[in-house]
Amino acid sequence: MSYSELLSQVPLFASLGSDDLERLSTSLQPRRYARGEIIFHQGDVGTDLYIIRKGEVTIRLSSADGREVSLALLQRGDAFGELALLDEAPRSTDAVAREETALLALNRKDFQKFLEERPQVVPALLAELSRLVRRVTQTVHDASFLDARARLARVLLDLAQRQGESGDEGVAITPRLTQTELANLAGLTRESTNRWLRFYAREGLLSYEEGRITLLEPDNLRLNVE
């Protein structure tokens, strides 16, 4: 897949025509990261937006005492670090390569030059940033008001919607997740995550084997959130 084709899959740039995508793609710089390598730390000065060409990236928050909360698990075609295109404020999260990962980096200066030439992208940028704010607001809401069972169900449904593959048995969540990773995404302990995974499996709502989760009855699982 060409750089411009990958750009077209990013919501921020989806409204651009082929000529504009081709123009912007000339500014992309390839980067590679090994499994577990830090792409950026919370507090780093941000200068680039990243697009995943291959691999997976975890966006997380870390505390001084070593605790971690995962905010998102991203795959090919996903973008992150959007705010770096707008200001020079420090990064608000960590980004870590979950496996060997190839990225494309778009520098703020190159993007601002592009905006001067193509101001029609500004509405799409604002719309994407508003979606980002809504996702963060939803995460805070879930952590504040949902119990453990509902929080796990919400995360599973979100993963299935964004990164699921439909099949005869149900919707398989494509990244294989350890219970620790799933617990971090839901803001739960591993023990609580294990307990509710087993509960949902007994209820026939999902299957969990060797890190692969398949939602057997997504609509019924959603009843645990609503």
Strands 68-74 and 57-62: antiparallel
**Residue 175 clears pLDDT 90, i.e. is over it:** no
- Mean pLDDT of all residues in 200-217: 91
Q: How far apart, in whole angstroms, are the C-alpha atoms of residue 94 and residue 80?
A: 11
| 14 pLDDT more than 90 | no
> Distance (Å, rounded) from C-alpha 8 to C-alpha 41?
28
pLDDT at 106: 94
pLDDT at 150 over 70: yes
Residue 19 pLDDT more than 90?
no
Residue 83: predicted pLDDT = 82
With bands split at pLDDT 50, 70 and 90, how would you rate the model's confidence at 194? very high
Percent of the chain exceeding pLDDT 90 equals 35
What pLDDT does 68 receive? 76
Q: What percent of the chain has pLDDT over 70?
A: 96
CA atoms lying within 13 Å on the CB side of residue 214? 13
- What pTM was estimated for this model as a whole? 0.75
The listed range with the strongest mean pLDDT (29-33, 109-113, 118-122, 173-177) is 29-33
- Write down the pLDDT at residue 53: 94
Alpha-carbon gap, residue 153 to 102, rounded angstroms: 30
